[in-house]
Each structure stands twice: as structure tokens, then as C-alpha cells.
Amino acid sequence: MIDAALTDNDAWTAWPAPAKLNLMLRVVGRRADGYHELQTVFQFVDRCDRLHLRVRDDGAVCRAGELPGVAAEADLTVRAARALQMASDCRLGVDIRCEKVLPMGGGLGGGSSDAATTLVALNALWGTGFDTEALARLALPLGADVPVFVRGQAAWGEGVGERLSPVELPEPWFLVLAPPCSVSTQAVFTHPRLTRDSKPITLANFLDGDVVNDCLPVVRDEYPAVADALEWLSRWGEARLTGTGACVFAAFAERDQALAAWEQRPAGIDGFVARGCNRSPLLDRLDDFSGQVERV
């Protein structure tokens, strides 16, 4: 079953799926299987998609509504729910409605975050009892970024991004611009001009200001809208690309400073101002849910 009718029902619960920023991204090698060895730093922001979930007793996983350009069978939320079902032998099902806020193809990890929120929320709603490590292992086949959203802590990442070490970082305000284009991650990582042999650095190097994104030259050359957004944003601070883009961002010490820049953004460009978070809003929602269950 694919599509479920939307109804107002107290059984629906809402769960946040936050965006992430890659504060740095280095491509330090290429593996025999074609995947790239990376170094990166993940931090969340408090801008979120919102997933609405309703438990079913018939075992069906149904997407309520449509996601433009994404077939239900390819939807990461549907795949995540079915992966948890299979791993836990759970006989319950779910209706899933995604209230999409984060731009697709923007490098903010929206699809990965939606998948992670599905895993974490259904683990609680279905009572499947997986710990964080088990959920993270279940998350990896869904995408390299999904485990960091499951763990919910800002992190230094290596490998394909799955080897994660929690970090404590400043939590500035970010102005994020979303140029009117979608960047293909596959196209960037297969581009002949992508640097694939950057020298590895340490967390200390990053904290001292080494924030290079090796994907930036390729994306800037191939996507003029991203280049224009970077040029404009650089007037306000150090403008960076998140992941393979298309979104670009700059950090501000105060919210008012970020909002002042946002008000002067070029016409026709979308984006938002959000706070950096070392702890994912998803974990706060999980704590609230667990507390409600304990009080019942």
C-alpha cells in the first residue's frame, strides 16, 4: 500500500527532521568500491522538516500525500520504516506524512534527516527497543548521512561520513541561502575536476580555521546560481558551501545580524536564518515522548 487518506486524528504524532550543515568537507581518497574517503564536520540547525506519523495495526507502511519527484517506493521514510519492520519483526505499520520545509538537492540532508527521524520515532512508537548504535547500523544502508541524524550530536565524520566522533562547537546563527537549482551529489563526486587527494587534517586544524570544502570549485563552476549566492554572501562574512550544495551559508554571532543580511538578500533567492545546534531537536522530541509514556 502506498497512499493513505489524510484525516484529522489524535493518533498522529509530529516529529522534527532538522537540517545539517557541513562546516568543512575534504575528499582525502577514493576507495576500490568507488566511494570517496571524506573528512567533514556536521552541525545541526533548528530548521526542520516535520514528519507526521500514525501507527497502524495492519502492518502496512503508507505514505500520506505526495513528495514531488519522489516515488513512494523510493521515499527514504518508507524505506526506513520497512527496514525497521524487517529488522525487528514488528507487525505494526504506519502512515507517514512529510511536511517538507528543507529544499531538495540543497546539501542540507533533508531526505537523510527524514529517514533518521522515521527510524527514531518508530522505534519509540512501535516499542521495538533498538538502542542508538543498532539504529545507526540500520541507518547506514539508507545513506551515508543518515547515521549522524540518528545519533543526534554534532560530529567529526570520516570514512564515507559514517565514522562519527561527537564534538562541541560554537552555536552561532546561520544565514542559509538556497539558490534556485538542485545539485546532483553523484555528478559532483564523479566530476573529473574534483580534488580527491586532499591532505587529511585534525579537528584542531578545523577549529583553527581550516574549513575548506573540496566540492566548492566544481559546484561554483557548474552552477552559476551557486556562484552568485556565494559572491553576495561573502560581503557579510565567510561564505561556505554545505555538502555538495546547492545551499551556501555564513555564520553570525547574533540573530539580528543574520536577519539584517537576510533582509537585503538578492531578489528571487530563498533561504532562512537558523541557530546552530550541537544537539538535534529530534532528541528533545524523543525525550518529551519518553516522558509522556512514563507518566501514562
Kindly report the CATH number assigned to the domain that includes residue 265. 3.30.70.890
CA–CA distance, 113 with 51 (Å, rounded to integer):
10
| 100 catalytically annotated | no
| 20 catalytically annotated | yes
Q: Print the domain residue range for 266.
A: 173-277
* 113 annotated to a ligand binding site: yes
Cβ distance 143 to 115 under 8 Å?
yes
pLDDT at 296 over 70: no
The pLDDT-based confidence of 295 (bands split at 50, 70, 90) is low
Same domain, 132 and 191: no
List the catalytic residue out of 75, 114, 145, 214. Answer: 145
The pLDDT-based confidence of 161 (bands split at 50, 70, 90) is confident
* 93 annotated to a ligand binding site: no
pLDDT at 4 over 80: no
Which pLDDT does position 6 carry in this prediction?
Answer: 40
pLDDT at 55 over 50: yes
Same domain, 127 and 109: yes
* 105 annotated to a ligand binding site: yes
**What percentage of the chain exceeds 90 in pLDDT?**
87
Cβ distance 277 to 44 under 8 Å?
yes
Which pLDDT does position 123 carry in this prediction?
Answer: 98
List the catalytic residue out of 20, 49, 75, 114. Answer: 20
Domain membership flag for residue 282? no
Domain final residue, candidates 138, 167, 196: 167
CA–CA distance, 83 with 92 (Å, rounded to integer):
13
Domain membership flag for residue 287? no
CATH number, domain at 19?
3.30.230.10
Among 155, 158, 67, which residue's Cα sits nearest to residue 115? 67
pTM: 0.94
Which pLDDT does position 7 carry in this prediction?
Answer: 39
* 68 annotated to a ligand binding site: no
The pLDDT-based confidence of 34 (bands split at 50, 70, 90) is confident
Same domain, 20 and 161: yes
Same domain, 114 and 50: yes
Same domain, 144 and 222: no
